Structure 1
């Protein structure tokens, strides 16, 4: 009987949230579809041969390495280990979200590594209790040890991926200034996050109503029902994605791409990671990043990890830079990819990347 009651509450609550968001959906859907000429980039098409990396708790992580072609002159002598840039994605996304960065650095001839965080994308599901920011920091080290055991490394994190980088800094400060020669923290924070902000459109237009933590726990117990409701409310979810993920008008393909990644993440996974955001408190740990060039990047219209978080990060990391992308939202890596890529290029130059390649 308890299960039926929870299920009824789940469907009713999500249904009411969706119905509330549905006001004006048709109008907003037309605005999304007509925002800009849609160049239809082949999102999700950039891949390389996968590498299986096993985390310290046995979880298999899906990792891909883009190896640049070695310059002719380096083939004639013993080359130094190349610079490697490792990209860590955010909550309910997957490695494909770095589409424009991956495309850019393939052209630039930089060795890059992309991986799906545990329980996301093509990686294995995390054991119960290990879906934590701390574990993600350990996973990043496992990836680094497996595919970049030698040579300098730059770590780049977006949203939860930025928290992953901060967790690594807290656990292994000795790596920064040694193996890790640069960091980029994009649309992220090290604490003080309002949990309801990061719900994204996982439960369409849930808003801030109700005790979020208890609500998520209840929904998690009937996660299959929630997944069904999410799929049924595609129009509402698309509008929620457009409004929460982006600041300016973007091509409809961008919205659909992000929504597709969000929709592919089971709500059970969303619920498993959710508690860690409210307890996150690692601002003291970010100070170690002052040992290396660090770039902080955020859109000024980020509704999930607002610009204030990035300003605080920059103030706590001596010598770091802050790029504020005016009017951009949380998915600044897509929305303002040229600005983001340019800032990452400057970061690599500051680390001596040209000499390492």
Structure 2
């Protein structure tokens, strides 16, 4: 009991430092953010997997007017969005809205152990299993017709593994694939942008540490709330490469810290040992977009280059001033790239041009609209 005042004092100090950091950062951050992050689904359902995990799935159906616009382009594919490690389907919320507005049916789901999906046996926390989960989501929500698959980070790994597991289905039904801020595997993914030496130490001891932390989630949550400003700076550093709103940082933090520590721990060794390159062959005939941020600390451009090297015809788009969670940092640009991908794929089918026969396109793009908004705000603040 004699030592109790010390942790309490440290907690108060952390709270004060955190609040100062948060206040200072808020002055620099972009206030440009949606009024709310909700996206009421047309339909919500539970898809049970073959090993007994209930996956929370949501379907967004476009209005009749939007469907009519899409009908002109031929048979409209269903867009399936797969989120990344320690995130949820909420990370795709802005793309869901835009895709539905453009007339596409959209399927999103929380991967096992994440968000509102069921808690799995920790031994089943593998990318191989995530690929099979995606197959079961497709079977339950769009058993026929063309689909486009959009995967971010670990969700991109899920998509690549699904393609390797189901080459015939990919050939028959997958119109296009977007692999956003992802990697075909390797040690660098679990280095978490900390550098090779420190990152390898974290990657090695991290799973055990996270598992132990999971037994003390209550106290950790309390410390997290007391030091929220510090937490926000850390989240923003690893998630983004440019200023974003405090609400956006909060959204990402809630997803990350809402994920069970032991589920995170269980996935890390599998990701560390992953090699998805041999399974990329089914993508050779599929219109493919590989996209990442120039300031991504988790999966830098070299990871995307490895995918592009094995998928002739894939477009590689690097976004300047962008970090890992690029869909929330530059939502309009990402949505535009996804829509352009689907349109290219539809045009290729209509014209009979195989995706693999097209020249590779590499582009570095910049979110000009965001830069202009930032400049206007800075001028307004100065005046």
Normalising by structure 2, what TM-score? Answer: 0.78
User: Larger RCO: Structure 1 or Structure 2 (Cα < 8 Å, ≥ 6 residues apart)?
Assistant: 1
Higher deviation after alignment, 319-328 or 43-52: 43-52
Q: Among 68, 81, 85, which residue is 2:79 paired with? A: 85
The answer for unaligned runs of 5 or more in structure 1 is: 1-11, 201-206
State the aligned residue count: 329
- The counterpart of 1:169, out of the listed 163, 174, 192, is 163
SS of 1:143's partner is helix
Residue 34 of structure 1 pairs with residue 28 of structure 2: yes
Query: Measured at CA, do residues 199 and 114 of structure 1 come closer, stay the same or move farther in structure 2, by a change above 3 Å?
Result: farther
Residue of structure 2 in register with 1:245 after alignment = 239
Cα distance, 1:140–1:209 mapped onto 2, change above 3 Å: closer
Q: Which moved more, 1:342-351 or 1:27-36?
A: 27-36
What does residue 160 of structure 1 align with? 154
User: In 2, are the aligned partners of 1:38 and 1:253 still within 8 Å (CA)?
Assistant: no
Other structure's SS at 1:176 match = helix
Q: Could you say if the C-alpha distance between residues 114 and 33 of structure 1 is closer, same or farther in structure 2, counting changes exceeding 3 Å? A: farther
Distance (whole Å) between structure 2 residues aligned to residue 260 and residue 243 of structure 1: 15
**Quick check: 1:153–1:182 contact (8 Å CA) kept in 2?**
yes
Q: How does 1:1-357 map to 2 (within 5 A)?
A: 26-27=20-21, 30-70=24-64, 82-198=76-192, 208=199, 210=201, 212-226=203-217, 228-233=219-224, 234-352=228-346
Distance 1:231 1:298, change over 3 A: farther
TM-superposed deviation, 1:192: 1.9
- When residues 340 and 61 of structure 1 are mapped into structure 2, their CA distance, relative to the original with a 3 A threshold, is same
Where 2:119 maps in the other structure, the secondary structure is coil
SS in 1 for 2:292: strand
2-side partners of 1:198 and 1:23: how far apart?
Answer: 25
Is residue 34–residue 252 contact of structure 1 (8 Å, CA) maintained in 2? no
What SS does the aligned partner of 1:157 have?
Answer: strand
Alpha carbons of structure 1 residues 213 and 346: separation in structure 2 relative to 1, 3 Å: same
**Which has the larger displacement, 346-355 or 144-153?**
346-355
Asked if the contact 1:67–1:112 (Cα under 8 Å) also holds between the matched residues in 2, the reply is yes
Alpha carbons of structure 1 residues 73 and 23: separation in structure 2 relative to 1, 3 Å:
closer
| TM, length-normalised to structure 1 | 0.84
Q: Residue 66 and residue 266 in structure 1: after superposition, are their counterparts in 2 closer, same or farther (change >3 A)?
A: same
For 2:106, what is the secondary structure of its paired residue?
Answer: strand
Deviations 1:285-310 (A, max 9, x none): 12321211000110000011111111
Answer 1 or 2: which has greater helix percent. Answer: 2
CA distance in 1, matches of 2:83, 2:294: 20
The higher radius of gyration belongs to 2
SS in 2 for 1:93: coil
Deviation at 1:81, TM superposition (A): 6.5
- Counterpart Cα distance in 2 of 1:307 and 1:249: 20
